[in-house]
With several copies, the nearest count.
Chain A
Amino acid sequence: MNRMSLRFISVSDNVGLARVAVAALASQADFSLQDIDEIKVAVSEAVSNAIVHGYPGRSDGEIQVTGMLDAGGLTVTVEDWGVGIEDITQARQPAYSQDPERMGLGFVFMESFMHGLQVESTPGQGTRVEMHRLVTISGELSRDAQ
């Protein structure tokens, strides 16, 4: 019932910006604080990947994050127009990373903290990650008096 789209450049400052914007959108639905913490981790991983892997050594790459809330929950997409991924299946393996400094846990976290993850990528053209998170209503229907 609400949607937003956020565009920014590939600098690490913007990981926090993306987290905060998606969290503000998510807080309009019946997510618990823990749900929102977990959504923030997934967003942070996807945006960090776009910056680090999508645009290596570049700070002018465009990144777009969208969020959509409906009765089914929250859908987040993170898209870049960077180098793309050759082998998506391999990239999604736990502990696989092309960068020895990194842990290879980004996709694992996205999968664990969200309910459904799709990755599309074309080498040389870019990468698009779509993640969904269901609202699971526990206890009372509305959390506040609004």
Chain B
Amino acid sequence: MTIVHTIQPTRIVVAVNGDLDLKTADPLREALDALIDRYRDKDLIIDLADVDFIDSSGLGVILGRYRRLAQRNRTVSLAGIRPSVRTVLDLAGILTIITVIDSPIRKEAR
């Protein structure tokens, strides 16, 4: 897994590359929490365009960040969701509580 982040005026965009599972849950959680704590007024966008696989360990990280930010009136959105990832997010009901950005995030980021 690799993580690349971009800081924009109102949001933190984090592009993740790799599988989101038990192995990568801890490093991903730590990286996201560090960004959330550092940029205290920004929303979080997680770009999953290069994520092929996610399971409940990976989902847990996303949902955990959603909860942390919601307490402070900040939001989490997901972008670039692939079909294999969408199936899992759907089943977990995550798409009903977290906003999904359908347009390519890298263009929108300009």
Contact = CB atoms under 8 A, between A and B. Distances in A.
- The short answer to whether A and B are in direct contact, CB under 8 Å, is yes
Q: Is the interface of B mostly helix, strand, loop or mixed?
A: helix
Interface in B47-85: 53, 55-57, 59-60, 63-64, 83-84
B23 A13 contact: yes
Contacts of B23: 12-13, 15-16, 146
Contact of A103 (B21, B27, B59, B84): B59
Interface in A70-119: 101-103, 105-106, 108-109, 112
Interface stretch (A34-42, A60-68, A124-132, A133-141): A34-42
A48 interface: yes
Nearest to A51: B22
B3 A102 contact: no
Given A12-B23, A16-B19, A16-B23, A146 B1 contact: yes
Q: Is the interface of A mostly helix, strand, loop or mixed?
A: helix
Nearest to A28: B23
A102 B57 contact: yes
Interface in A6-62: 12-13, 15-16, 19, 34, 37-38, 40-41, 44-45, 48, 51-52
A41 B88 contact: yes
Contacts of A40: 53
Contacts of B2: 144-146
Interface size class of B (residues with CB under 8 A): 20 to 34
B99 interface: no
Contacts of B59: 103, 105
B92 A34 contact: no
A105 B57 CA distance: 9
B87 interface: yes
B91 interface: yes
Interface of A: 12-13, 15-16, 19, 34, 37-38, 40-41, 44-45, 48, 51-52, 101-103, 105-106, 108-109, 112, 144-146
Given A48-B22, A146-B24, 16 more contacts: A12-B22, A16-B21, A34-B83, A34-B84, A38-B87, A45-B55, A48-B55, A48-B57, A101-B60, A101-B64, A102-B60, A103-B60, A106-B56, A145-B1, A145-B27, A146-B2
